[in-house]
Amino acid sequence: MYEPDNRVNSEIEKLTQIYYREAYQHESFIRVSLRKKEHLVGCCLLLSCRLLNWPISMATISSLLDADPMVMGMLYIEMVKILNIEAPIVNITDVMEAHSHDYQISSLHAPEELSESHKDLTKRAVELVELSADTWIVTGRRPIPIMMAAIYLSWQSLKPNKHRLKLSLEKFCQLAKVNKHKPAIKRITEMKEMLCKLGQEIPWVREAVTPDNVVKHVEDILKHRHALLRRALRAQEDALLAERQASCEDLPIKEDADNHQLHGETLKSQDPEPNWGKRVLFAPPCVVQAKKSRVEQPELTDVTGDEEISDSEIDAYIRTPQEVREFALSQKMLE
Amino acid sequence: IKQNRQTKTRGNFPNSCFYFVGVLFVQGAMTPGMSIFSPMMPYGSGLTPQPVQNTNSLAILEEQQRQQQQQQAQQANAGLPGTSGQTPQLYHSQAVAGSTTTALPGNTPLYGTPLTPMTPVTPATPASESSGIVPQLQNIVSTVNLGCKLDLKTIALRARNAEYNPKRFAAVIMRIREPRTTALIFSSGKMVCTGAKSEEQSRLAARKYARVVQKLGFPAKFLDFKIQNMVGSCDVKFPIRLEGLVLTHQQFSSYEPELFPGLIYRMIKPRIVLLIFVSGKVVLTGAKVRAEIYEAFENIYPILKGFRKTT
């Protein structure tokens, strides 16, 4: 495990022991299984690291203990509640440095053409993750696939030659000797889409910026990201304004209809409201690619709860004697 | 009747994720009330909770509780019926620098800076300030006592809509079409009814299950019907910076993206748990009456608006 500063670690160790002693003796944990108590150590370690601003992910601790991250996570939440402690969440950019050290991609481990210094790689990946966070790619998502996607794209963009651009994520992970995380592929796609939107605003780029060629522009995009973001947002605003003016001239009634849809119950008989995520430049991907919501059953309105219940309705739920015999027979045969 | 209905998994999150959230709610119901005050102890003793970054907010929290207690005392004196104190735990967040998607030049904080100070909002928001969004009820859980011992094997044998696997679960699972609900019927005669979209529907459904049990030959009654939990949901239609929200409302929030994509907000008054997602969708649960859902949403809406980006 990457541990550059032993001094900090001894402080964390002390705090971990204190919390563990407290948690272990608590009535909620004193009688739990040995395995769970091992998980508890991990939880106390995580808590101490967070309180002392030592960036570490739950996944790292879980893997060290060979534990299911979900199980450990649930225990952590329970423990924090029982001990009544508020621990800050981990900032993904802080974990990035430790995470990038897992990738054996330096000149010691990889051929020269494919190698990259950790310093450069981490710096670029952090910028990419910050930009992704601003554009709604990070919130609500698991951090590790995001970091993997950022490192992969950063690595490609630091030397966007044929070799690197052709190397798939899978091969890159094999090269760097890390386990591939499947969601990272989706994150790469999302990041590339976002980068394209910004890349298009670069004044000196004449060609269309597409996911296939955006990697070579990543350096410029990151360097001028604030300005490009402003330009892209302004362009989007102008486009929306123009659209609104055009629609205002055509349909004066439409705006009222929109207002009514926002108030009170949604009118299911009408067409579904246009997805607000498609009307802004950047939106959380779960909004932009909204899954089709389940068709609502026709609502039972004005039910008092005291209605008469007809015999026939109830009889429909009861087997006939014949059915009972057949069912009993089939049960016997299955035994 | 479909056997073994499986809960749908959304995206990459396994069923254990939803179980995880369910466990949180159950624990919420069973553990004593969470203290909202972090004791002010010097940092570094090892047993201290995270020192509150913003001492102002703590002072305001205490002030708020004091005001609340005063109000409740006043209400009691005025002879009002036992209404739960209407004062929400509510802080109107001001716009946060850096929480917009437009990155500021220079060092962009990844998450919004904590807000200082936090101003409490007056209770009973007037109609003109209300959100205009009404949460939809999605699920009602109720219980009723049929008042007699039941032979589950007989019920499973003679009812068409029943499922019974004693090795897996010690209750009959029964379903009716209208209102579309599911019931768990125990040999003790107690019954749980889930899936209804309103209190009245839940009661009607429970009565129908009781009638089925009656028709199967048991002297079923309908005692102590009670709504145990109500779940509502709505959509504020703007994205929410969960990282910012957990920073400024740490006492109430839990956000662990490694485990679950939503932020879990445990509101004190009313005692409701909210799941807040980046998409702006909000799930509210833990209510015994629907007014609690509406009140909780009206409380959270201004807070969420504070984290809305402005272009």
Residues with Cβ within 8 Å of B185's Cβ and at least 6 positions away in sequence, in order, are: B146, B150, B152, B155, B171, B172, B173, B174, B191, B209, B213
Give the whole-angstrom CA distance, residue A48 versus residue A50.
5
One pLDDT digit (tens) per residue for chain A, 335 residues: 444 444 458 888 898 988 988 888 888 888 888 888 889 999 999 999 999 988 888 988 998 889 999 999 999 999 998 888 888 888 888 889 888 888 998 888 888 888 899 999 999 999 999 999 999 999 999 999 999 999 999 999 999 999 899 999 999 999 999 999 999 999 999 999 999 999 999 999 989 999 999 999 999 999 999 999 999 999 998 988 898 898 887 765 555 545 544 443 334 444 455 678 888 899 999 998 887 776 666 665 678 989 999 999 999 999 999 999 999 999 999 98
Nearest to B256 by CA among A286, A141, A71: A141
CA B101 from centre of chain? 29
What are B217's two structure tokens?
């030959």
Q: What is the nearest CA distance from B92 to chain A, expressed in angstroms?
A: 21
List the single range of A32-46, B44-58, B118-132, B262-276 with lowest mean pLDDT: B44-58
Q: ipTM greater than 0.90, yes or no?
A: no
User: What are B240-283's pLDDT values in tens digits?
Assistant: 999 999 999 999 999 999 999 999 999 999 999 999 999 999 99
| Burial A151-171, CB ≥16 within 10 A → b, else e | bbbbbbbbebeeebeebebee
Q: What is the nearest CA distance from B282 to chain A, expressed in angstroms?
A: 13
How much is the average pLDDT of B175-185? 96
Q: Are A65 and A39 in contact (CB under 8 A)?
A: yes
Handedness of CA A99, A102, A105, A107 (dihedral sign): positive
List the single range of A228-232, A286-290, B10-14, B200-204 with lowest mean pLDDT: B10-14
Helix ranges (DSSP H) in A26-117: 34-51, 58-65, 69-82, 92-100
Q: What are the Cα distances from residue A9, in Å, to A3, A31, B81? A: 8, 29, 57
Nearest to B270 by CA among B74, B85, B80, B65: B85
- Record: contact A81-B239, CB cut-off 8 A: no
* pLDDT in the model for residue A273: 59
Sheet architecture: strand order including B181-186: B162-163, B171-176, B181-186, B190-196, B136-145, B223-235, B281-287, B272-276, B263-267, B253-255
Residue B175 pLDDT class (50, 70, 90 cuts) = very high
Give the whole-angstrom CA distance, residue A52 versus residue A50.
5
Q: Which residues of B touch A328 (CB under 8 A)?
A: 157
Nearest to A60 by CA among A27, A102, A24, A123: A102
Q: Are A28 and A37 in contact (CB under 8 A)?
A: no
Interface A-B, measured as beta-carbon pairs within 8 A, has a size of 195
Give the whole-angstrom CA distance, residue A201 versus residue A38.
52
- Give one word for A302, left, alpha or beta, with left for phi > 0 and alpha for psi -120 to 50: left
Q: What is the CA radius of gyration of chain A?
A: 28
- If one compares B3 and A275, the residue with the highest pLDDT of the two is A275
pLDDT at position B87 over 80: no
* pLDDT in the model for residue A42: 92
Give the whole-angstrom CA distance, residue A215 versus residue B148.
71
pLDDT at position B193 over 70: yes
A305 touches chain B (CB under 8 A): yes
* pLDDT in the model for residue A326: 95
B152 touches chain A (CB under 8 A): no
User: What are B287-300's pLDDT values in tens digits?
Assistant: 999 999 999 999 99
Q: What are the Cα distances from residue A169, in Å, to A164, A182, A262, B235? A: 10, 10, 43, 36
What are A83's two structure tokens?
């001990």
Q: Are B258 and A57 in contact (CB under 8 A)?
A: yes
Q: Are B211 and B185 in contact (CB under 8 A)?
A: no
Q: Beta strands B91-92 and B253-255: pairing type?
A: unpaired
Closest residue in B to A331 (Cα) is B157
Give the whole-angstrom CA distance, residue B160 versus residue B162.
6
Burial of A108 (0-12, 13-18, 19+ CB in 10 A): exposed
Q: What is the CA radius of gyration of chain B?
A: 23
Give the whole-angstrom CA distance, residue A161 versus residue A313.
72
A315 touches chain B (CB under 8 A): yes
Angle made by CA atoms A81, A87, A93, in degrees to the nearest 5:
140
* pLDDT in the model for residue A316: 95
What are B199's two structure tokens?
């209190």
pTM: 0.75
Q: Are A131 and A196 in contact (CB under 8 A)?
A: no
* pLDDT in the model for residue B309: 60
Interface of B with A in 71-100 (CB under 8 A): none
- Record: contact A303-B136, CB cut-off 8 A: no
Closest residue in B to A13 (Cα) is B46
CA dihedral angle for residue A208, residue A210, residue A216, residue A220, rounded to 10 degrees: 70
pLDDT at position B201 over 90: yes
Q: What is the nearest CA distance from B70 to chain A, expressed in angstroms?
A: 27
* pLDDT in the model for residue B33: 40
Q: Which residues of A touch B256 (CB under 8 A)?
A: 58, 73, 76-77, 89
The count of residues in chain B is: 311
* pLDDT in the model for residue B71: 60
Nearest to B180 by CA among B165, B198, B164, B166: B198
Q: What is the nearest CA distance from B278 to chain A, expressed in angstroms?
A: 6
Nearest to B203 by CA among B184, B187, B222: B222
Q: Which residue reads 């957990």 in tokens?
A: B246
B138 touches chain A (CB under 8 A): no
Dihedrals phi, psi of A178, to nearest 5 degrees:
-125, 160
Q: Which residues of A touch B242 (CB under 8 A)?
A: 139-140
- Give one word for A266, left, alpha or beta, with left for phi > 0 and alpha for psi -120 to 50: beta
Q: Which residues of B touch A18 (CB under 8 A)?
A: 46-47
User: What are B208-242's pLDDT values in tens digits?
Assistant: 999 999 999 999 999 999 999 999 999 999 999 99
Helix ranges (DSSP H) in A135-224: 143-158, 162-166, 169-176, 183-199, 218-223
- Record: contact A300-B178, CB cut-off 8 A: yes
Cis? peptide before B270, omega within 30° of 0: yes
